[in-house]
Structure 1
Amino acid sequence: MRYDETELRQRLETLPPRARAVFAVSCVTEHLRSYDEYHRKANRGDPAVVRGALERLLTDLDGTEINRRELEADLERVMAVIPREDDEPWFEEQAYAEDVAAALAYAIRARLTGSSQEAAWAARRCYELADHAAINELEEEGNESPDEETILHHPRVQAELERQAQKLSAIENVGETAVLRAVTEEYRARTHDDDEGGAQS
């Protein structure tokens, strides 16, 4: 599979605005752990801001309307805790955290604006996160300069593209409400497991 933003945006255009935001948030929930790992390693960022914004976005999409100003405030807070490339010292997890926090910001914008482009950008940042992870793994295996095709066919990248394709097809075929509920349940189950693991460590 390949990432095709033009095709993705065209398919998103056929969906109602809420469905576009559901697709965007479905990409983000898979990767929130990356931000937590960055915070633990670098002692920077604010997972509470990121997870709080995501929870309110999920709640809003599920029908419990969140005040628009609150979503806008969440967007500002998330933007403020996106790691910058020039943050020092640099950590490998920094790139992943930047991608996932930026993807969440795009997902919030997709909800606020209904824009298919914002939703596509959320998906793109999650694809780029997988791309970064693939490059790091290949370099650790001794491939210092992997070419684009090698990166594209890495299992991490293909798994991300497959996940996105499955979520979009499910929204098109069974509707965004069913997908949102499944995504929310999966995300909260992972969060519970992470909390349990942290309590035991």
Structure 2
Amino acid sequence: MFEFQKLVTHLESIEYARRSLFAVMTAERLAPFFRRYASLLPDGVEVLDGGLDYVWSRISTEKLGADQREGSLILSQIEHLIPPEDSSELFSAQADDAASSLMYAIRSLYSPDPREAAWAAQRAYDTVDNFVNNLPDSTGTISKGYIDHSPLLNDELETQRADFALAQSADLTELVKLRSHSGQNGEELLGKFLSLIKRG
């Protein structure tokens, strides 16, 4: 179970920049879902990757709380790419979570409020929760028991705990490997989703 307030308390205990790092690690993990959806849109992937580049760069150079104009422009561009609620495209709900998570990561650069980073993590949990809530079990029906025992939800919480530990200790001037690690985690999560869909 995702414990929002507990995460906020943990985030309050670490430096401002490390909260943003935790948030962008989360957004990077969800990026494969957004790329899959955004590939259908003009410049969609470029906007996503530009937003991620922006946050990682700001953290590595410790330019937090500075001029917000560029960040505001990127936020507006991402907002226009969020899927409509009635979208039937595969992983559109996850693309919404991915875009929103990145928007929270960008906002965390300019706000000392730890809830910005926590909301990014909440959207990552929602990505998995939405998937398992709409995934039929072996009988072809959506089972609450199956949902409650889905290892994917536990895996997501474990990943968030690991990400938090990395955000606490990372060298903020050497983030290339950490970004690659987060991206690989995201590709693996997408792969698990696709595997379960094919199996169903």
Number of the residue aligned with 2:4 = 5
**Structure 1 runs not aligned, ≥5 long:** 192-201
Q: Once the two structures are superposed, what CA deviation does each residue of 1:170-196 show, in whole Å capped at 9, x if it has no partner?
A: 333x246288443223357799xxxxx
Task: Specify which of 160, 179, 182 is matched with residue 177 of structure 2.
Answer: 182
Q: Aligned in 2, Cα 1:11/1:189: closer, same or farther, shift over 3 Å?
A: closer
Quick check: 2:102–2:120 contact (8 Å CA) kept in 1? Answer: yes
What's the RMSD between the two structures over aligned residues? 2.6
Identity among equivalent positions (%) equals 25
Letter in 2 for 1:170: L
Q: Aligned in 2, Cα 1:15/1:69: closer, same or farther, shift over 3 Å?
A: same
- Distance (Å, rounded) in 2 between the aligned partners of 1:179 and 1:154: 35
User: 1:74-153 maps to which residues of 2 (within 5 A)?
Assistant: 74-87=74-87, 90-136=88-134, 138-139=135-136, 141-142=138-139, 144-147=141-144, 150-153=146-149
**Structure 2 runs not aligned, ≥5 long:** 187-200
Letter in 2 for 1:185: S
- Bigger helix fraction: 1
Q: Aligned in 2, Cα 1:175/1:162: closer, same or farther, shift over 3 Å?
A: same
- Distance (Å, rounded) in 1 between the aligned partners of 2:163 and 2:182: 14
With 72-81 and 100-109 compared, the bigger mean Cα shift is at 72-81
Shift of 1:166: 0.8
- TM-score under structure 2 length normalisation: 0.80
- Distance (Å, rounded) in 2 between the aligned partners of 1:144 and 1:111: 43
Quick check: 1:30–1:187 contact (8 Å CA) kept in 2? Answer: yes
Shift of 1:7: 0.3
Q: Once the two structures are superposed, what CA deviation does each residue of 1:21-53 show, in whole Å capped at 9, x if it has no partner?
A: 11111111112111122234xx24712111111
Quick check: 1:50–1:78 contact (8 Å CA) kept in 2? Answer: yes
Quick check: 1:19–1:171 contact (8 Å CA) kept in 2? Answer: yes
Number of the residue aligned with 2:19 = 20
- TM-score under structure 1 length normalisation: 0.79
Q: Once the two structures are superposed, what CA deviation does each residue of 1:34-90 show, in whole Å capped at 9, x if it has no partner?
A: 1122234xx247121111111111111110748421112111111111112034xx1
- Distance (Å, rounded) in 2 between the aligned partners of 1:27 and 1:152: 23
SS at match of 2:136: helix
Q: Aligned in 2, Cα 1:181/1:152: closer, same or farther, shift over 3 Å?
A: farther
Letter in 2 for 1:131: D
Quick check: 2:101–2:119 contact (8 Å CA) kept in 1? Answer: yes
Number of the residue aligned with 1:161 = 157
SS at match of 1:91: coil
Quick check: 2:29–2:184 contact (8 Å CA) kept in 1? Answer: no
